[in-house]
Structure 1
């Protein structure tokens, strides 16, 4: 990954990492001992899992890709946390059997609910592996953003389809199986037994500001990150964010 790629990824993930760190710190204050037990569903190569392990948490990554899990193993080894990171091949439907019932203080589900066969079943599986009071960090694609993006790109018919489609898709060739809106996803969380505490908008501006500006203008990446942070909880701007980051407890 180049320095430019890292800078743009940092802008896009900083808010999620910051909010997650605060939630985990609050959970840690209620749990004696060192570190938390965390399950990262679809955690891939360990972009979140390895930094959490560096902080002293025990992380199980459940992912269907053996290649991703091999990269996870190398990454954990490079950071000296192989003893704290465990990779398990599987998917959301298998989560309780792979991670264990009531075995986790936190579950991460970032960019996974869009592609599972049954989102409701997946949320129920996540609830089952959490201990009482455990934290769910959920990151999902939002419908409104793709409607705006297709319209700005001149694809007006596709924007209208995405606005009306039950899964928030703009057509048969849309690579995203489904998108959510805030009311829909918070309702599904409540049905699965979760209490929602915070909802942040993620990538409200990061996908709209030209890459050339962010990558070359001094201080632009930092300014964009500050703008994202300021807009993340503002209801009007949150409704336009590419993703929603939700923190909930069981």
Structure 2
């Protein structure tokens, strides 16, 4: 869903056919980087985890030569962008699923904003600090909901690691202060974050996937639903 939203923002901000300079911070296994390279863009992926780096490079090696030439993989931490790149070097900067693992996000976001050329797009995908209480409440976990109202961290059920969550109001203020004010935002995983919790359906692709995606896409751009999504997708624009 975040990929669809990102494509929407790119299409609305840049001329059709323009080859963009993209920085993917915390590129993971490279799915977004490869997708954007296939669309014709020049992509630099930054990743520090050795296993994820190896997976990204292996995936890149399986691509045609023309795609491989458009992707550069750099080993490094997102907080060190100033070491690797000059300010204003990129038209689009992605940072998806990274801020939740950073104790203090503001320096990282500031570094990302500096990498943007004027008019450039910053795409952040973060854990929503307003979602855990809703999730616990829907399960009938009232004690958990009470705790989650004021918590800044919670345990991720998939990884069992404690991760941090961000709130829209705080990130909006941060982006404004960095000269890349919020242009638009979406919710991601509004309903699907809790849809399989009752255990009545085995995990996998549902029969009505197209309808599910349509519901999620509409909810992700509509109040009040997007405000309690598991993830927030924020798009800021460099002035």
In which range does the TM-score fall when normalised by the shorter chain? Answer: 0.7 to 0.9
Of 35, 42, 46, the residue aligned with 1:51 is 35
Equivalent-residue separation in structure 1 for 2:85 and 2:53 (angstroms) = 16
1:241 and 2:225 matched: no
CA RMSD in angstroms comes to: 2.3
Candidates 197, 210, 216, aligned match of 1:228: 216
Shift of 1:26: 3.8
Q: CA deviation at 1:201?
A: 0.8
Alignment map for 1:2-17 (pairs within 5 Å): 14=1, 16-17=2-3
* 1:120–1:188 CA contact under 8 A, matched in 2: yes
1:174 Cα deviation after fit: 6.9
Answer yes or no: is the 8 Å Cα contact 1:40–1:62 preserved in 2.
yes
Q: 1:178-189 maps to which residues of 2 (within 5 A)?
A: 178-189=164-175
Is the contact made by 2:122 and 2:237 (CA closer than 8 Å) also made in structure 1?
yes
**Structure 1 CA distance, aligned partners of 2:105 and 2:25?**
13
Shift of 1:176: 3.5
Structure 1 CA distance for aligned equivalents of residues 183 and 18 of structure 2: 25
1:169 and 2:157 are equivalent in the alignment: no
TM-score w.r.t. structure 2 length?
0.88
Assess if the C-alpha contact under 8 Å between 2:120 and 2:237 holds in 1: yes
Unaligned runs of 5+ in 1: 1-13
Out of 124, 130, 133, the residue aligned to residue 138 of structure 1 is: 124
- Does the CA contact (< 8 Å) of 2:155 and 2:161 recur in 1? no
Q: Deviations over 1:112-143 (max 9, x none)?
A: 11112421111110011111111001111112
Richer in helix (by share): 1
| Matching residue of 1:7 | none
Structure 2 unaligned blocks of 5 or more: none
SS of 2:179 mapped into structure 1: coil
Residue number in structure 2 paired with 1:92: 78
Residue 39 of structure 1 is aligned with which of 2, 23, 26?
Answer: 23
Contact 1:161 1:169 in 2 (8 A): no
In the alignment, does 2:9 pair up with 1:23? yes
Q: Please state whether the residue corresponding to 1:144 is helix, strand or coil.
A: coil
Distance 2:90 2:205 in 1: 42
Find the counterpart in structure 1 of residue 100 from structure 2: 114
Q: What is the CA distance between 1:100 and its match in structure 2?
A: 2.4
Counterpart for residue 191 of structure 2: 205
Tell me the CA shift for residue 214 of structure 1: 7.6
| SS in structure 1 of the partner of residue 161 of structure 2 | coil
Query: Aligned partners of 1:236, 1:27: CA distance in 2, in Å?
Result: 26
